[in-house]
Amino acid sequence: MTLPTGTSRRQFIKTSAAVGSAIALSGGLASRAYAQGSDEIKVALVGSGGRGSGAVNQLFNTKGNVKLVAIADAFKEKSLKTIEGLKKQFPDKVKVTPDTIFEGLDAYKKAIDTDCDLVVIATPPGFKPQQFEYAVNKGKHIFCEKPVAVDAPGVRRFLAAVEESKKKNLMVGIGLQRRHENQYQNIMAEIHGGAIGDIVNQRVYWNGSSIWFRDRSPGWTDMQDQCNNWYHFIWSCGDQICEQHIHNLDVGCWAKNAYPVKANGMGGWGRRLNGDGKESQIYDHTFVEFTFADGSTMHSQGRHLKNSFTSVSEFAQGTKGRAYFPGVLEVGGERKKIDGKSGHGHQQEQHDLIESLMAGKIYNEGEYGAHSTFTSILGREACYSGKELTWDELLAKGKNWTPGIDNWNWNTMPPAVKDANGAYDIPKAGDYDPFAPLAPGLGGVNQA
């Protein structure tokens, strides 16, 4: 898979080949093969929300002798709820003790420091670069949910840690589960074999209804409130285009075997929540035109809006035909159904990860996880600014949305702060500068 030319090619490694390619483990913990039914694979969960508990549930459903030995979350009650739910289904697989339940913004370090083999990172995306880096430094295998960052500095930090993970022969799985669904794999094999010719345009969608919102608890600091209600802040979730629409953008880049060199877009906040803008900082609709090095384009729609057109899908137009992902090719007026199964990726990605560990082999998905994340960030920043942005410049110089994150605590002022009218500053095209540092005090969305 190719990257845009220029700064990013000089500074960063090329994207890895197709998922599932493996290299033999060697040295230390990584040299150990986990034979079926014998050696335990001890898991530490960092981030015990719905996706974290789901990933552990799916790990328990694999052939491996998987045990949960530690859990960390900013809020202990979430961990206790997750443990209770997992014990009902898998009473013999939950080996967490009171001493291995950790809470707070530094809880991830304590969980990773336990005697675990595999770390599952399923926290809000703004925290993932530091947590991934820490797990790599500690020599742990990792499954990290998408997206892996919310800004260019986070992506650079993540990619640097990916390089270290490869030196240590560590497993790195990324939660872009379509890559593990055999129907997607089969249609991609056809496309890469030339079935529809050269791709000239793609359309990708994540148009859905509204999302959850969590009320603030009495006595909480702003940091506690935003960590709990993380989907509504740019610094923590990266906006809907990163948090959810990344899946469809990843499919488009996978089909092209390339990443876009530039993007322009538009979007805004129309009917977010109560309609007054006070509770949420992110957009509820985006539209982006991504351009690849060969001049082909990918058009992206992302939306949270009730009573409107909904679609979570991808389409590709080639010089010989078109693809309707994941199951149909159309060439010469004839439709061909693609064999395979889709929609089972969350479970399959854990089957693949554990079976590879048991066989004493690894694969590393960190690069395409970071590059697909940055594709989402490129689109978001183009929408926020109203400008055409290039991959190379934004990756090298883009805004840091989590300054000083390694030293945050519950009393730290978060990057999003309400203004004098009680509303969060929302990016405004024409005013927003994607390269200006955040200004202290007001979240700095529209200020240098």
Over residues 49-82, the pLDDT tens digits come to 999 999 999 999 999 999 999 999 999 999 999 9
Residue 246 has pLDDT above 70, yes or no: yes
Q: Where are the beta strands (DSSP E) in 180-227?
A: 199-208
**Sheet containing 297-304: which strands, arranged edge to edge?**
334-337, 328-331, 321-324, 311-318, 199-208, 297-304, 285-291, 262-268, 389-390
Residue 419 has pLDDT above 80, yes or no: no
CB contact at 8 A, 58 and 350: yes
Average pLDDT in the 399-420 region? Answer: 92
Unique residue bearing structure tokens 């729609």 = 301
Residue 123 has pLDDT above 50, yes or no: yes
Residue 16 has pLDDT above 50, yes or no: no
The three-class DSSP label of residue 163 is: helix
Average pLDDT in the 231-235 region? Answer: 95
Q: Which two tokens stand for residue 6?
A: 């220029």
Please give the helix or strand (H or E) that residue 17 lies within, else none. Answer: none
Residue 420's pLDDT band, with cuts at 50, 70 and 90, is confident
Of 202, 280, 245, 201, nearest to 377 by C-alpha is 245
Q: How far is Cα 30 from Cα 277, in angstroms, rounded to an integer?
A: 49
Please give the helix or strand (H or E) that residue 367 lies within, else none. Answer: helix 366-385
Q: Which two tokens stand for residue 319?
A: 């010089």
Q: How far is Cα 297 from Cα 291, in angstroms, rounded to an integer?
A: 5
Q: Give the model confidence (pLDDT) of 368-405 as tens digits.
A: 999 999 999 999 999 999 999 999 999 999 999 999 99
Please give the helix or strand (H or E) that residue 357 lies within, else none. Answer: helix 345-358
DSSP per residue over 241-262, as a string?
A: HHHTTHHHHHHHHHHHTB--SE
Average pLDDT in the 20-42 region? Answer: 53
* One-letter amino acid of 26: S
What integer best gives the mean pLDDT of the chain?
Answer: 90
Residue 32's pLDDT band, with cuts at 50, 70 and 90, is low
Q: Structural domains in the chain?
A: 7-178+346-366 (3.40.50.720), 191-342+375-397 (3.30.360.10)
Distance of CA 181 to the CA centre of its chain: 17
Residue 35's pLDDT band, with cuts at 50, 70 and 90, is low
Distance of CA 19 to the CA centre of its chain: 16
Helices (H), 41-151: 50-60, 76-89, 107-112, 128-137
First-to-last C-alpha distance (Å) of the chain: 36
Task: Supply the pLDDT for residue 34.
Answer: 63
Residue 314 has pLDDT above 60, yes or no: yes
